[in-house]
Amino acid sequence: MSEYEFETTEFGVRGVLPDGEVMEFATEEDYHEAYVDQENQIYDEMCETFHYDEPVDYPEHEWLLA
């Protein structure tokens, strides 16, 4: 993910979103809100991707029981 970084322009704020896209925003607060929203969406998608309906069955090893 991209770092939280922005620069002030004559029209507002140009910021980099977590997916690397650069966008213009009216204020820093608008940029911050969009950044956090996209970051949360990425985390949600990662959780959905790695969510298993059934528990993972790890094999038992004797060396783990010692």
pTM over 0.75: no
pLDDT at 10 over 80: yes
> Domain for residue 66, yes or no?
no
pLDDT at 11: 92
For residue 35, give every residue at least 6 positions away whose Cβ sits within 8 Å of its Cβ, in sequence order, or none: 4, 15, 17, 18
> Domain for residue 37, yes or no?
yes
> Domain for residue 42, yes or no?
yes
Bin 51: left if φ > 0, else alpha if -120 < ψ < 50, else beta: beta
Average pLDDT for residues 17-21, to the nearest whole number?
93
Contact in structure between 9 and 25 (CB atoms under 8 Å): no
The predicted-structure confidence for 25-61, as pLDDT tens digits, reads as follows 999 999 999 999 999 898 888 877 776 565 656 566 6
> Domain for residue 63, yes or no?
no
Into how many domains does the chain fold? 1
pLDDT at 29: 95
| Tokens found for residue 35 | 């950044």
> Domain for residue 11, yes or no?
yes
pLDDT at 55: 60
| Tokens found for residue 4 | 């939280």
Residue 16 domain boundaries: 5-52
> Domain for residue 65, yes or no?
no
